[in-house]
Amino acid sequence: MPDHDTHQGQPHILVLGGNFAGLAAAQDVRRLCGDTVRITLINRRDYLLFIPNIPADVFANRNPADHQIVPIRPILKKSDVTFIQAEIGAVDVDAKSVTFVPNERSGEESEALTYDYLVIALGNRLSFDRIEGFAEYGHTVSDLYHGEKLRKYLYDGGYKGGPVAIGSARFHQGNGAAGLAPYPGGSIPNALSACEGPPLELAMSMATWMGEQKTGGPEQITIFTPGETIAEDAGLEIVKKFLGLAGGMGMKYKNNVQDIKKLTATTIEFANGETIDAELKILLPDWVAHDFLKGLPISDDQGFIITDLLMRNPKYPNVFAAGDCAAVTVPKLGAIGHQEAEIVAMQIAKDLGHLSAEKADQKLEPVVMCIGDMGAGKAFYIRSNVWFGGKDEVLEIGRVPYQLKMRYRDMFIANSGRIPAIGLVLAQFAAEHIKV
């Protein structure tokens, strides 16, 4: 058995997943519960992938593997969290048990761990395998491999200056968040794409890159969305401004494409029957639940984990979810996962008598916070909650948001994966009040 027994007899908190949501949840539980609990985190790799900054590296001709990896073993050690590098294969919520296979070497044995509290923060499958022709003709920026592949394609002469299509496949949201009202009169809306900040960011960065490289310009780019409106989660006013900007630059925009059907060397076919020319296709896929989470008594009809707005499963109150795998996380944003991880920790601390209900019961009020690189040292900053029934809708464009995007990652690493609350407040203030 792995060495996780230093706090024998204490409540065991088992965290599944060690990227943004899982790491934050483990750290927050330790912070709020002190040394009264035993915490174990299982993740298939021993580093955090800083996904949001991969696109900026690609367009600046940097290999993302050199910058966007944050080793988690030392971070978890600081919080006295036992780390197990393993592939999780099954969750049994009745037996309170999780089955995993250590994966440092092939052929390792299957083991099981029991828990008192389970935090599921396993993200989703990004299902590029469901886009016909993606392997041969598609590009993306969602991991180190694909980021580096696109960087080489752009900088080593692969791209010949032809039309570019940027957009998302259709997202199939489950029914697990139906009826939840995060703001008075609001709801968790039904999204037709999982996360549309990246396509906006990619379109702007690509346009700047084309100008710098003198290979065409924005009029070569088509941004598309499966839904009625791209990045609807940012709020309609922001989208209007954004589309005005993109249209003014000459970019084309296609909505209601329904889904990506097929890629060929020179085209992209959509489910609505349209086909457009595209030499370069930079795509975001459907976010699909992991197979082993489907059909569980804690999962919705698509396999996303059902929770209330305190991130607790209603049928199994010792099971929590945070981040992309939670049914309420719409859109799939790391920033929302962070909010949720903190709520999870407060709930566990409340259950264990370390926090009053008054302090702990702070329901999720999702806020879309997104900083997108636009190239040439500029970025856009979005802070909005109108999609969920809130009243805030802020868009800023300039050099300050770019600096914030870059510094946020540096701060994240320097603070072992934590951004002090004051840092976030200052970042918000700087983005919204300092114009350069």
Ligand X SMILES: Cc1cc2nc3c(=O)[nH]c(=O)nc-3n(C[C@H](O)[C@H](O)[C@H](O)COP(=O)(O)OP(=O)(O)OC[C@H]3O[C@@H](n4cnc5c(N)ncnc54)[C@H](O)[C@@H]3O)c2cc1C
Residues of this chain that bind ligand X (CB under 6 A): 17-22, 42-45, 51-52, 54-55, 87-88, 121-123, 141-142, 195, 197-198, 290, 323-324, 332-335, 337, 370-371
**Listed residue (283, 299, 279, 280) closest to 291, CA to CA:** 299
In angstroms, rounded to a whole number, what is the distance separating the alpha carbons of residues 431 and 380?
A: 9
Say if CB 21 and CB 113 are below 8 A apart: no
In angstroms, rounded to a whole number, what is the distance separating the alpha carbons of residues 111 and 182?
A: 39
Q: Which residues pair with 395 in a beta bridge?
A: 382
Q: Phi and psi (nearest 5°) for 386?
A: -65, -30
Q: Which is nearer to ligand X, 43 or 222 (CB)?
A: 43
In angstroms, rounded to a whole number, what is the distance separating the alpha carbons of residues 15 and 108?
A: 21
Residue 107, by phi and psi: left (phi above 0), alpha (psi -120 to 50) or beta?
Answer: left
Say if CB 320 and CB 116 are below 8 A apart: no
Q: Phi and psi (nearest 5°) for 152?
A: -65, -40
Residues 6+ apart with CB under 8 A from 433: none
In angstroms, rounded to a whole number, what is the distance separating the alpha carbons of residues 275 and 265?
A: 13
**Start-end of H helices in 156-303:** 197-213, 236-249
Q: Which two tokens stand for residue 307?
A: 């929770």
In angstroms, rounded to a whole number, what is the distance separating the alpha carbons of residues 420 and 403?
A: 18
Going by the DSSP 8-state scheme, the letter that residue 299 receives in this structure is B
The amino acid occupying position 339 is Q
Going across the sheet that includes 164-168, the strands are 252-254, 221-224, 164-168, 280-284
Q: Which is nearer to ligand X, 12 or 338 (CB)?
A: 338
**Start-end of H helices in 276-417:** 334-351, 357-360, 399-414
In angstroms, rounded to a whole number, what is the distance separating the alpha carbons of residues 76 and 125?
A: 24
Q: How far is CA 107 from the centre of its chain?
A: 31
The amino acid occupying position 391 is K
For 15, other C-beta atoms within 10 Å of its C-beta total 32
User: Minimum CB separation from ligand X for residue 22, in Å?
Assistant: 6
Q: Which is nearer to ligand X, 352 or 431 (CB)?
A: 431
In angstroms, rounded to a whole number, what is the distance separating the alpha carbons of residues 169 and 167?
A: 7
Q: What is the dihedral of CA 415, 434, 237, 203, to 10 degrees?
A: -70
